[in-house]
Amino acid sequence: MVLSKWSEGITTMRTITLKLPDGLAARVSAAVRRRGVSTSALVREALEERLGHERDKRAGSCLDLARDLRGSLVGPAGLSSNPTHLRGYGG
């Protein structure tokens, strides 16, 4: 494992070995030279971009997950702030 400063703060990183077809390896090498970054940085960025989308789809608070339901139910307004509706709750 490698201890490296990356993304948000200091992160412990695991070293992996990756086999690529010649064409893809050439594209990676060209992108590394063009962008002036390391191969590791380029591959990390690509993986974060690809896998980050999957994490974003699952992650979120209950509010985030139910946001599209807002306004789909009918009921009295101000349930969370109207003292009439709060009688008997809390201390």
**pLDDT attached to residue 91:** 57
**pLDDT attached to residue 68:** 82
**pLDDT attached to residue 3:** 45
Q: Torsions phi, psi of 10, nearest 5?
A: -90, 130
- Per-block mean pLDDT, blocks of 10 residues, the chain (91 long): 51 88 96 95 91 66 79 76 76 57
Q: How do strand 2-5 and strand 10-13 relate by DSSP bridges?
A: antiparallel
Whether the model clears a pTM of 0.75, i.e. scores above it, the answer is no
**What is the CATH code of the structural domain delimited by 2-66?**
1.10.1220
**pLDDT attached to residue 57:** 62
Q: Where are the alpha helices (DSSP H) in the chain?
A: 22-35, 39-58, 62-66, 83-86
Domain ranges of the chain: 2-66
**pLDDT attached to residue 35:** 95
* Secondary structure (3-state) at 12: strand
